[in-house]
Amino acid sequence: MTTQPYVLCVTLNPVLDTSYFVDEMRPVYRTQARRVTHVAGGKGNNVSRGLALLGETAHSLVTLGGMIGRNVAEVLESDAFSFTPVWVQGETRLQITAIDAKGVQRAFYAPTAEFKAEDAAAAGRAFDALLPDARAVCLCGSSPGPAADPLYNRFIRSARERGILTVLDSYGDALREGLAAQPHLVKVNASEAAGPAGRPLPDQAAQIDAVAELREAGAAIAVLTLGESGALLATNEFGECLMDGLCFGLGLGGGHQFLDQSVVQIQCSAHHIHLHRMQGLYAFERCSQEAFLGPHSMRNHSLCSWWVLRPALAV
């Protein structure tokens, strides 16, 4: 493991993401795959992967168990970031996705094994050992169960006591536990935000209210992603991008400064990106990868779109 300060990305509920690429899916006994890929999934691992792509130093803390866990560890060895495995009693999740030539997907998810109190204690000890060398902590993805939920609160509090920036991306009880510890930034999608809000979010007015409530619940910065409709962001301070791009833009690397020069990386095909800040809306415009990455422009990621912030219409 590197001794260089890193962004510590916590993945408590990882998955071995296996994809079968087929010509077509039909109700037949046997379908031949043209290609098979294996990815060490879980949001924390994905964020570490994105940060490594941007030339940043990331380190994953990941709980693993059983044969699938050993397979995930083997796959992680080939990634461009370091990791610390915490070996737990239950089997790591498996996801199998079949993708046909038209891009139609069908996914199959194995159940999550029980995460026990002993597993939570082991994850806590590993986090405490890694925290002194972290310059930011990202708690990403779903919780593996009730025994893990309090870790989101404890990890954020521990990082904040050291003055370390914290990012929370989860839902349900894990999101509520993490918000109570007042993370610097929280990122959720519309369905995840509807839980704390206690109501559906059918329009932009309701979405803006939900983002404001996330801030009131404890987050300094709240981001609500809306799929192809873009994203909303509420804050009293400006200097952020989305998840791996968020960490990059927060001053963890690259040196980009809001308001005129900040760039956000959106890992989806969003057409309209808006940010809500006090009484104003701000929009992102697409820019070139080179304009965003600068010295890292030799790195290429064809799945990303690159956006630059421009003032838009006031509310």
The residues spanned by each domain of the chain are 184-315
| Sheet with 280-286, side-by-side order of all strands | 263-266, 305-314, 280-286, 274-277
Among 38-42, 80-84, 114-118, 231-235, the minimum mean pLDDT is found in 231-235
Please spell the DSSP secondary structure of the chain, one letter per residue.
---S-EEEEEESS-EEEEEEEES---SSS---EEEEEEEEESHHHHHHHHHHHTT--EEEEEEE-HHHHHHHHHHHTTSSSEEEEEE-SSPPEEEEEEE-TT--EEEEEPPPPP--HHHHHHHHHHHHHHGGGEEEEEEES--SSTTTHHHHHHHHHHHHHTT-EEEEE--HHHHHHHHHT--SEEEEEHHHHHHHHTS---SHHHHHHHHHHHHHTT-SEEEEE-GGG-EEEEESS----STHHHHIIIIISTT--TTTS-EEEESS--S--EEEETTEEEEEEE--HHHHHGGGTT---TT-EEEEEEEEEE-
pLDDT digit string (tens) for 262-301? 333 333 333 333 333 333 334 444 444 444 334 333 333 3
Q: Report cis status (omega within 30 of 0) of the bond before 185.
A: no
Q: What's the whole-number mean pLDDT along residues 154-180?
A: 95
In which region does residue 125 sit, left (phi positive, over 0), alpha (psi from -120 to 50) or beta (all else)?
alpha
Q: What is the largest CA-CA distance in the chain?
A: 58
To the nearest 10 degrees (0 to 180), the angle between helices 204-216 and 190-197 is 60
CA angle 266, 158, 224 (to 5 degrees): 25
pLDDT for position 200: 81
pLDDT for position 230: 64
d(CA 202, CA 273): 18
167 pLDDT above the threshold of 60:
yes
pLDDT for position 304: 37
pLDDT for position 302: 38
308 pLDDT above the threshold of 70:
no
Question: Predicted confidence band at 211 (pLDDT cuts at 50, 70, 90)?
Answer: confident
pLDDT for position 292: 38
Closest CA to 13 of 109, 103, 106, 136: 109
Q: Ranked by mean pLDDT, which of 178-182, 210-214, 227-231, 245-249 comes out on top?
A: 178-182
Taken in order 87, 93, 98, 104, is the CA torsion positive or negative?
Answer: negative
Taken in order 310, 313, 314, 315, is the CA torsion positive or negative?
Answer: negative
Q: What's the whole-number mean pLDDT along residues 230-242?
A: 54
Q: What's the whole-number mean pLDDT along residues 87-116?
A: 94
Question: Predicted confidence band at 224 (pLDDT cuts at 50, 70, 90)?
Answer: confident
260 pLDDT above the threshold of 50:
no
Closest CA to 263 of 249, 279, 253, 277: 249
d(CA 312, CA 315): 9
pLDDT for position 314: 35
The answer to whether the beta carbons of residues 230 and 271 sit under 8 Å apart is yes
Q: What does DSSP say about strands 165-169 and 185-189: parallel, antiparallel, or unpaired?
A: parallel
